[in-house]
Amino acid sequence: MYAIELHNVSVEYQDRMGLENASIQIPEGTFSGVIGMNGAGKSTLFKVIMGLVRPTSGSVLVDQKTPLQAQKEGVVAYVPQNELVDWDFPVSVYDVVMMGRFGLQNIFRTPRAEDHAQVMNALEKVGMKEYRDRQIGELSGGQKKRVFVARALAHGADILLLDEPFAGVDAKSEHALTELLLTLKQAGKTIILSTHELTSLSEYCDHVALIKKTVVAYGPTTEVFTRDNVTQTFDGAMHRIKFSA
């Protein structure tokens, strides 16, 4: 079964192409790294999966459904880049995780007992329970990430999209975060993250997608994370990286 299926997807913005004829089939329960240069189309790919951008042509299936249907059923959860979040916002860790329940609540969004239970459960899983009353700006880079992973868990989504989760996060927190994501993978979640950390990629990603306006290659890390593919994706030789083949 595939969590994500894109067939010949093109996205045309006003002044440029976001994606051209991109096709990818991401199996359920895998941990995929999405790599490519800035502006290569990684964000567009994420937006297509989340149903925020409608492809100009091609077809998209998320958990066998249309992206809009998947939105309604809460299939995909998104962890934003740290720099896109207003960390001065007057909300606590608990408040942010509760936002994960938003799509499941009635129109007044009044939290019920079930919502509180799921929020505590999610906070427990990411190890952020003691920090629940902190204002979100009072956390380290790694803790901030875990709060948003908790929000995705509270949401109950089966597919997690993480946009540059390691940007602004130290090595120790990066390790803690990948451990957490690997646990979630064991529990059956599909993890998809974009990253510039090519050196450690093969340690936790079992699949890799190389993006350059289209999907240059996608498959098991051992097969597609090769010098040739990476060179083609990044327009040049990449040194200091351990390749699979």
Partner 1 sequence: MNIVDLITIPLQYPFMVKAIVVSSVVGAVCALLSCFLILKGWSLLGDAISHAVLPGVVLAYIIGIPFSVGGFIFALLAVLLIGSIKTHTKIKEDAVMGIVFTTLFALGLILISRTVSSIDLMHVLFGYVLGISDVAAWYTIGVSAVVAAIILTFRRTLLLFCFDPTHMQSVGVSAKFIHYFLLVLLAVTITASLQTVGIILVIAMLITPGSTAFLLTKRFPVMLVIASVVSVVSSVVGAYASYYLDVSTGGAIVFFQGCVFLGAFAFSVIRSHRKKNTSVVSV
Binding site for partner 1 (CB under 8 A): 50-52, 68, 71-72, 74, 76-78, 80, 85-86, 89-92, 95, 99, 102-103, 108-110, 135, 151, 155
Of 122 and 217, CB closest to partner 1: 122
Minimum Å distance from CB 217 to partner 1?
Answer: 27
Shortest gap between Cβ of 193 and partner 1 (angstroms)? Answer: 16
CA angle 70, 161, 226 (to 5 degrees): 125
Q: Which is nearer to partner 1, 153 or 217 (CB)?
A: 153
Residue with Cβ nearer partner 1 (135 or 244): 135
Q: How far is the CB of 133 from partner 1 (least distance, A)?
A: 9
Give which of 192, 221, 197 is closest to 207, Cα–Cα.
221
Q: How far is the CB of 51 from partner 1 (least distance, A)?
A: 7
What is residue 244's DSSP assignment?
A: -
Which of 163, 197 has the CB closer to partner 1? Answer: 163
Closest CB 126 distance from partner 1, rounded Å:
17
Size (the chain), residues: 245
Query: Between 31 and 148, whose beta carbon lies closer to partner 1?
Result: 148
Tokens of 91: 């909300």
DSSP for 122-167, written as a single string: HHHHHT-GGGTTSBGGGS-HHHHHHHHHHHHHHHT-SEEEEESTTT
- Angstrom distance (rounded) from CA 177 to CA 164: 12
Is the C-alpha dihedral spanning 177, 116, 187, 51 positive or negative? Answer: negative
User: Taking Cα atoms as reference points, which of 145, 146, 154 lies closest to residue 119?
Assistant: 154
SS3 205: coil
CA distance 203 to 25: 22
By beta-carbon proximity to partner 1, the closer residue of 4 and 176 is 4
> Minimum Å distance from CB 99 to partner 1?
6
